[in-house]
Structure 1
């Protein structure tokens, strides 16, 4: 008899619980299909459908550091930036690496932020890559395809972050970091010439081997072959310096180290991804120049 009473009480409890559902009110979760503007439609046709890339340009607290003062990307800057990105980054890789390479390697979430992202030490974060899945690009509101300085900065960031994705999938040879073992987190204390003399392509390359490797990629793919060669040898050494001969020797040693790194990066692209980096470099330079001329 006690069992029947227990089952009866359980049934009453469940019935009473179900009967109160209607008192909860309407759901606070918006499940309606969002309206797509022209930019959204263009993103869907050119990024989402062919490459499964989600682009977030509307400000989303969950995607950025809430400890920073950041501003959203301006709508009028979003599509021109993405068109340039497709021209300068996605299309060249699709041509030289193949459509499957792009579909496999590109990040599936691209977050666009309008403003600079300042650190407390005064340095600026231009982009961030997270686990090969997400890339955040800052400075979108300053985008101007006719301004070479801005173009180089933004797309150098994109190539830098994509380089991280590449080595996170297939690591570069460990011998690379032995070429210049003097890495330091105090890289911001060094100038361009200091870095070049020490065998680093940029001061930020001195941060760690991974950043060193992808900075090489970024610099190569935002310059023509001629510009690249000129840059590698551009460290300034004053003939008035009492240690001129010593500094000149250090500069030559630095150039040799960078050339050694260049060879390893080129071989990595060819052997791992079957991409001729010099051909990719020439193509990207050509489309970048055409984009600026438009």
Structure 2
């Protein structure tokens, strides 16, 4: 980070005189200047203020504020055009669905308040890529925004949306506690900071303990919000496929779905975007809920009463009941509302029929 800042300072001494001005979309703001830019608000600043800050008290920072830059990682500013794309995606796939299922006053009171956009990925010393950093579900750093693929659902889910759904859920359980019955389900397997080294990520043995991701085992609150986010972004054959059957002739593997229809359904996943990451591995959000739970259908130890699948099913039942009774939110309806927008992001329906694709490159009110 110091190297970047020093380079920028050197260039400013060489290339500026007293009459030079920073561009309206300048991406670095020094301490003490955060209340106002060196230049009047540009169109994006006005859009962020009117669309998110005023109605929902959500600040989106795409310029660097010095006090918000962690020295632990090397960060790169977000490009102006990518900040525009992010703002539009954020509004379409987060704000609008949540408001439709709740209300504007609800979202203003029960949501994170700061999003800090970082241009390039951040990496831990171990080489692990960080999708985002968060402080108690209130302030969130999102990385890799300069590589945002605005019309690829899977990129958006894995790199942005799952994090937003996760962090927003923190604000709910912090305001109203869910029953302690939830944390009892996997009580003996929460790892706190040890979660990184306690599980085999290749065999996904955390699933047998009732955790949807390895990080879910950090504590019961992280377990809760990780499960909620994955429930939204994963495919769900029971809800999405329409291929359930009791005919064992059509269901050779006994999973409750017509084999031919199920395979045809999965073949259509690519209509919503490239299903492989830059590393040629499947995006996590191409996972199917039932397939993940099938992997979890074993016991973490012989003395356990329940399999990991049964534990996850118990947790999701508690979660749905909590959301409905405490917040009047139907999780399946929220999920359906979000996913009903996917065709207009990808420019085609799930079946591949072309539709008008959202243009996230332009600011619209």
Q: From the superposition, tell whether residues 220 and 32 of structure 1 become closer, same or farther in structure 2 (CA, over 3 Å).
A: closer
Note if 1:175 corresponds to 2:235. no
Contact 2:210–2:296, Cα closer than 8 Å, also in 1: no
What is the CA-CA distance between 1:115 and the residue it aligns to? 1.8
Note if 1:86 corresponds to 2:115. no
Q: 1:190 aligns with which of 171, 193, 200?
A: 200
Give secondary structure in 2 for the equivalent of 1:233.
Answer: helix
Q: 2:58 aligns with which of 34, 53, 60?
A: 53
**1:83-127 deviations in whole A, cap 9, x for unaligned?**
111111111111111111111112222211112222223333322
How far apart, in 2, do the equivalents of 1:38 and 1:190 lie? 48
**1:149-176 deviations in whole A, cap 9, x for unaligned?**
3111111011111112222222222221
- Map 1:46-195 onto structure 2 (within 5 A): 46-153=51-158, 154-181=160-187, 182-184=189-191, 185-188=193-196, 189-191=199-201, 193-195=204-206
What is the CA-CA distance between 1:129 and the residue it aligns to? 3.0
Question: Could you tell me which residue of structure 2 aligns to residue 268 of structure 1?
Answer: 322
Give secondary structure in 2 for the equivalent of 1:128.
Answer: strand
Note if 1:290 corresponds to 2:344. yes
Contact 1:156–1:222, Cα closer than 8 Å, also in 2: yes
**1:230-250 deviations in whole A, cap 9, x for unaligned?**
24324289xxxxxx9999998
What is the CA-CA distance between 1:45 and the residue it aligns to? 2.1
Structure number with larger C-alpha Rg: 1
Give secondary structure in 2 for the equivalent of 1:71.
Answer: coil
What is the CA-CA distance between 1:34 and the residue it aligns to? 3.7
In the alignment, structure 1 segments of 5+ residues that lack a partner are: 1-27, 238-243
How far apart, in 1, do the equivalents of 2:55 and 2:147 lie? 28
In the alignment, structure 2 segments of 5+ residues that lack a partner are: 1-30, 238-286, 348-356, 358-365
Q: CA RMSD in A?
A: 2.9
Q: Which has the higher helix share?
A: 1
Contact 2:208–2:300, Cα closer than 8 Å, also in 1: no
Give secondary structure in 1 for the equivalent of 2:141.
Answer: strand
What is the CA-CA distance between 1:268 and the residue it aligns to? 1.5
Give secondary structure in 1 for the equivalent of 2:90.
Answer: helix
Q: 1:199 aligns with which of 175, 198, 210?
A: 210
Contact 1:197–1:253, Cα closer than 8 Å, also in 2: yes
Count of aligned pairs between the two proteins: 261
Contact 1:161–1:214, Cα closer than 8 Å, also in 2: yes
TM-score, normalised on structure 2? 0.65
Contact 2:53–2:59, Cα closer than 8 Å, also in 1: yes
Give secondary structure in 2 for the equivalent of 1:111.
Answer: strand
- Map 1:23-34 onto structure 2 (within 5 A): 34=39
Give secondary structure in 2 for the equivalent of 1:136.
Answer: strand
Give secondary structure in 2 for the equivalent of 1:55.
Answer: strand
Note if 1:208 corresponds to 2:219. yes
How far apart, in 2, do the equivalents of 1:211 and 1:121 lie? 22
